[in-house]
Structure 1
Amino acid sequence: MADLPPDLFDADWAREAERRALRDHRRATRARKARGLTGPSRGALLTALSFSAVVALAWAGFAFLDGTAPTASAPPTSAASTSTAPLRAHAEVDLTRPFADTPAAMWREGAGGIEPPPAHPVGPYSAEQVGQFMERVRRLIITARLDRTVLETRDPSLVLDQLAPALVEKLRPELAPGKEKESWYVAERIAAGARLLPVQPRVTGWMTPTVNEHGELTIRTNYLVAYAFDVPDPTKIDGPMDIVAVVRHEIEYRWIDDSKYAADARGVWFGEARGFSYSVDCAQSEHGFLAPDYNNPRETAAAAGHHRRSEEYFDPNIPMPTEDGCR
């Protein structure tokens, strides 16, 4: 009997992937500077090209390492609708309606934005099995991205309880204090000192069931979550994006149920994972924590390399951004 499902690639591949990511990131940065590009926000961070995250996610099937944007898969017909509402970057902020004047104002509140499509048979898996796994993934995402206990205590235990025990043991080194950036894909963590407003985050995106090359039932997810933060002095902020942080995740969840694996290896595993965050506190993001943009130095705006319209960072239909505005 095999103990664990196979790794998606080996350590040699991971080391080469890290070198390639570093090289291509530097090339992209030099090219942006040569073009003199500037952008709309002083606080966007590409987690997918964060060098420490590259190493941490190698075993999990991290594939976005060549400096190019992946092709965006079309959402299923049941996916939550996305907004094309414009962003009014300098609108007056109402802390009781923090998402007003942002595209996230049109998204669903909290768990209502994480809605699986109708279940149907996929490969050897019945519609009932597919539906059950999509519901497990839904609960897992809600816990990891919306549960206030997880977010505010920065303790992912409630998430880990929903994963295969063998995977949790494999994750232990990356879950140690001080390594939060390496396990960004496990759960969101709000920075100490940052306070969420008493409103539900806004969510949009979709999940799609498939069977991967190993014959495993896999749920591919693509979600954006907008978080609204309190601010000590509202008179010192310029507009809604000073307190609204947007996080996007494209994460695969694998269902391991083959009896050839040990009992503790069966359950939910991670597959490929990509992430991007927009309008965030760069210093906190460097340590794996989420905080709003208003703490960033103003001069960061001039150094940001964005060349998209601001609204595009709210759109799960576009390819994952490759810019890094925090370096």
Structure 2
Amino acid sequence: MSDEEWARFLRAAEQDGGAAAPKEPSADERAARAARVARSAQPEGWRTGPAWREIDGRAARRRRLAAALGLLLAAGLVVVAVRPGLVTDRFAGGGDTRAAQAPATQSADDLPTLKEPFRGSPAAGWADGAAGIQVPEAKPVGGMSEKDVQHALTSAKALLVAANLDPATLRGERPRAALDLLDPLQADGRVMLEKALTDPGTDRDPLWVFSRFDASEVRPAGNVVKVRGRLTYERGERDGQVLVHADYTFVYPVVKADPGGATEVARTVVRRQMTLALYDPAKIRTTPGKLYVLRMEASAGNDDCSRDGDGFLHPQFHSELVAGEDGGGTGRLVDPYDRSKPLDELSQECGTVTRT
């Protein structure tokens, strides 16, 4: 209690006949309070990097994501496995989450073809590629200028495009353009992702951020990837921070990498939720103009669970399922197009997709 608050209480107590007065703070208590106030007035993380609360938050999210990756969705006329850390739209309209009530098979008329790779998919009416990533109007926020916010938003879109739509990234090549947008000072961001690309594993998987296929197994069926989602932004905990939130679903049609000319098409559905930050270098130690990754979560539908940790998505084809190949999924049904819940509320077990 400050001196002013204490004086107000004494005046009120005199008027009320001295009812129930709180104990006056001791000199030590007042000194401790003054120290706390002084500490809180200092710029948080000034020249030392993001505040400890942000760092702890990233670590927790990364652990949760590491546990979530591995859900494999099922598709086609028979069951295909699904991966849970990579699927829903909390912002844009999506279906409900009653995946278990959805049909577990697809009609032959809904199966994709080379001519119609999105036939039978809700994504048929979605935007093509980068056109599906719309940047909102930038306004000053959190002590960051309109120019700073615009830079954060355009950089976030560039990252999403380079990480999920660039043909070289999809072929499994090193996503240099995407990495160059991230701050090299962030050990659990760009540094970790570079290690994951060089030596992937279940505890460091490039699929947390990048959509990558093994070029020796599959190739794109056409040159269109369907996209739906939303980009938003807000101020950080303190001035000098702007946070950008991305929630997007990408639909990839592929065929087998058969030199003889494969015709069977399979689709993999990847949903990503990310939180990126741009910091004022005058207040936080950062590389000017580069993004920090505060959250990275993903879920992939029609991705072989039994091959988790190798750094690639592994779609399964109807012919493989008919032949009895197991993608590691359980009987739990999942709709990879359901965007009604955030990823951290979904099951982390490998399930079965109802459609792709």
TM-score (norm 2): 0.65
- Out of 211-220 and 199-208, give the one that drifted further: 211-220
Counterpart residue type for residue 178 of structure 1: P
Using a 3 Å threshold, how does the CA distance of structure 1 residues 155 and 111 change in structure 2: closer, same or farther?
Answer: same
Counterpart residue type for residue 91 of structure 2: A
Counterpart residue type for residue 110 of structure 1: G
Quote the residue 2:303 is aligned against. Answer: 280
Contact kept in structure 2, 1:196 and 1:228, CA below 8 Å: yes
Using a 3 Å threshold, how does the CA distance of structure 1 residues 170 and 224 change in structure 2: closer, same or farther?
Answer: closer
Q: CA RMSD in A?
A: 3.9
Q: Residue 4 of structure 1 is aligned with which of 31, 49, 64?
A: 49
Contact kept in structure 2, 1:44 and 1:277, CA below 8 Å: yes
| Higher-Rg member (1/2) | 2
Using a 3 Å threshold, how does the CA distance of structure 1 residues 259 and 110 change in structure 2: closer, same or farther?
Answer: same
Q: Distance in 2 between matches of 1:285 and 1:188?
A: 14
Q: Distance in 2 between matches of 1:224 and 1:88?
A: 21
Shift of 1:303: 5.0
Quote the residue 2:83 is aligned against. Answer: 45
- Out of 93-102 and 177-186, give the one that drifted further: 177-186
Q: Distance in 1 between matches of 2:80 and 2:136?
A: 36
Q: Structure 1 unaligned segments of length 5 or more: list them.
A: 26-38, 49-68, 76-80
- Per-residue displacement from partner, 1:63-92 (whole Å, max 9, x unpaired)? xxxxxx9x97434xxxxx7689x9945334
Q: Distance in 2 between matches of 1:42 and 1:254?
A: 36
Matched, 1:103 2:115: no
Q: Distance in 2 between matches of 1:307 and 1:106?
A: 24
- Out of 211-220 and 143-152, give the one that drifted further: 211-220
- Out of 178-187 and 251-260, give the one that drifted further: 178-187
Shift of 1:275: 1.0
Matched, 1:325 2:350: yes
Q: Residue 176 of structure 1 is aligned with which of 198, 209, 213?
A: 198
Q: Distance in 2 between matches of 1:2 and 1:104?
A: 45
Shift of 1:257: 1.9
Counterpart residue type for residue 50 of structure 2: P
Q: Residue 274 of structure 2 is aligned with which of 251, 257, 270?
A: 251
Counterpart residue type for residue 118 of structure 2: F
Quote the residue 1:230 is aligned against. Answer: 255
Matched, 1:187 2:204: no
- Counterparts of residues 83-232 of structure 1 (less than 5 Å): 88-91=106-109, 92-167=111-186, 168-169=190-191, 171-179=193-201, 181-193=204-216, 194-215=218-239, 216-231=241-256, 232=258
Quote the residue 2:19 is aligned against. Answer: none
DSSP-derived class of the 1:47 partner: coil
DSSP-derived class of the 2:296 partner: strand
Contact kept in structure 2, 1:208 and 1:221, CA below 8 Å: yes
Q: Distance in 2 between matches of 1:122 and 1:45?
A: 37
Quote the residue 1:34 is aligned against. Answer: none
Q: Distance in 2 between matches of 1:323 and 1:262?
A: 35
Q: Distance in 1 between matches of 2:115 and 2:157?
A: 28
DSSP-derived class of the 1:230 partner: strand
Contact kept in structure 2, 1:42 and 1:304, CA below 8 Å: no
Contact kept in structure 2, 1:2 and 1:261, CA below 8 Å: yes
Q: Residue 330 of structure 2 is aligned with which of 297, 304, 319?
A: 304
Counterpart residue type for residue 116 of structure 1: V
Q: Distance in 2 between matches of 1:146 and 1:21?
A: 23
Shift of 1:9: 4.1
Q: Distance in 2 between matches of 1:115 and 1:209?
A: 13
Q: Distance in 1 between matches of 2:275 and 2:141?
A: 16
- Per-residue displacement from partner, 1:40-66 (whole Å, max 9, x unpaired)? 842210126xxxxxxxxxxxxxxxxxx
Q: Distance in 2 between matches of 1:131 and 1:264?
A: 17
Matched, 1:264 2:287: yes
Shift of 1:105: 0.7
Using a 3 Å threshold, how does the CA distance of structure 1 residues 318 and 151 change in structure 2: closer, same or farther?
Answer: same
Counterpart residue type for residue 167 of structure 2: R
DSSP-derived class of the 2:234 partner: strand
- Per-residue displacement from partner, 1:156-201 (whole Å, max 9, x unpaired)? 2221111122133465433423348523233221124221122211
Shift of 1:141: 0.6
Shift of 1:254: 0.6
Q: Distance in 2 between matches of 1:319 and 1:10?
A: 20
- Per-residue displacement from partner, 1:112-133 (whole Å, max 9, x unpaired)? 1111223334333344432332
Contact kept in structure 1, 2:171 and 2:212, CA below 8 Å: yes
Shift of 1:299: 6.3
Contact kept in structure 1, 2:304 and 2:313, CA below 8 Å: yes
Counterpart residue type for residue 83 of structure 2: L
Q: Distance in 1 between matches of 2:288 and 2:145?
A: 22
